[in-house]
Amino acid sequence: MESKLGSRLPDYEVIKPLGRGAYSYVYHVKYRSTSQEFALKIIEKQVVVQKNLTNRLLNEIKLQKRLNHPCIVKFYHSFEDEDCIYLVLEYCAGGELFSYIKSEGRLSEDETRMLCSQLVDGIDYLHNRGILHRDLKLGNLLLSEDRTLLKIGDFGLAVKLSNYSEERSTLCGTPNYISPEVVNRQPYGLAADLWSLGCIVYGCLTGNPPFESPDIQTTLLKIKDMSYSLPNYLSDDAETLIRSLLSWNPDERLSIQDVKNQPFFKSQFFSTLDTRTLQSPT
Ligand code: ADE
């Protein structure tokens, strides 16, 4: 893929590969005429057709294009050539929260609060617009270079609630973060993202998501049985937040508004972050 990129993308300088998704490659690129840096997501059309992903990709573009929030990776534009579709996205120089946690072991409660309050702001923005992300996980959260700003990325599985009646029992998302109602193929709604938020907070504070296992089947069984343990170094506020998000019954789970009022987030001011940007778009 990399060797052919230079000739395909004369307007961009390819700086380095950033990662590979299930059906895409992401590169750090510089737009030559303005020197602005972006993350360029490249999807091979052949793979999209083979894997029947056309609707998923069109949905991702349509949804992410309309979003404009400091805690969500900005979608600038898309273009295509004969073989590939290209999504030009905001570049987050700090990489994935997943990699940051792996390098640190685990995060302090203060750092978790600072990063997760931005995640809560981003989810609030999505849920207010009836958008369910469905794949919130440490690997889909991106950081600024100094790791103080967090942005939600990858809208490949996101759905707008009005379009989603036929989708509501589809098993999707990454096994470690999916809720019992999704595992049990029950109808699900916004509360499924709140379960994932609980797994993310747990992952920040302990280093691993709560139901992680060597194989997918064991992870799914652990989720169904609610089999997880809370280490004793967690504060009471952190423990209460995690327990109330990892509630088996989605109707009893905290809503995003409830999360903002949790004692764990007591010192955070939500939605006061709107003036921040990682880099100013030209
Ligand atoms: N990896 C995937 N998407 C990315 C982005 N927007 N910025 C940095 N790294 C990424």
Residues carrying an active site annotation: 135
* Closest atom, ligand 1, to C-alpha of 89: 6
Q: Which residues line ligand 1 (CB under 6 A)?
A: 18-19, 26, 39, 73, 89-92, 95, 142, 153
Digit-coded pLDDT (tens) for 90-133? 999 999 999 999 999 999 999 999 999 999 999 999 999 999 99
Are 132 and 126 contacting, i.e. CB atoms less than 8 angstroms apart?
Answer: yes
Q: Confirm whether the ipTM is greater than 0.90.
A: yes
Cα(66) to ligand 1 centroid in Å equals 19
* Closest atom, ligand 1, to C-alpha of 21: 2
Cα(121) to ligand 1 centroid in Å equals 19
Digit-coded pLDDT (tens) for 223-250? 999 999 999 999 999 999 999 999 999 9
Are 48 and 65 contacting, i.e. CB atoms less than 8 angstroms apart?
Answer: no
Burial class (CB in 10 A: 0-12, 13-18, 19+), 218: middle
Distances in Å between the Cα of 8 and the Cα atoms of 16, 79, 92, 157, 256 are 16, 12, 24, 28, 43
Q: Pick the closest to residue 172 from 160, 191, 159, 153 (CA basis).
A: 159
Distances in Å between the Cα of 282 and the Cα atoms of 2, 66, 99, 131 are 27, 18, 29, 28
**pLDDT of res. 266:** 82
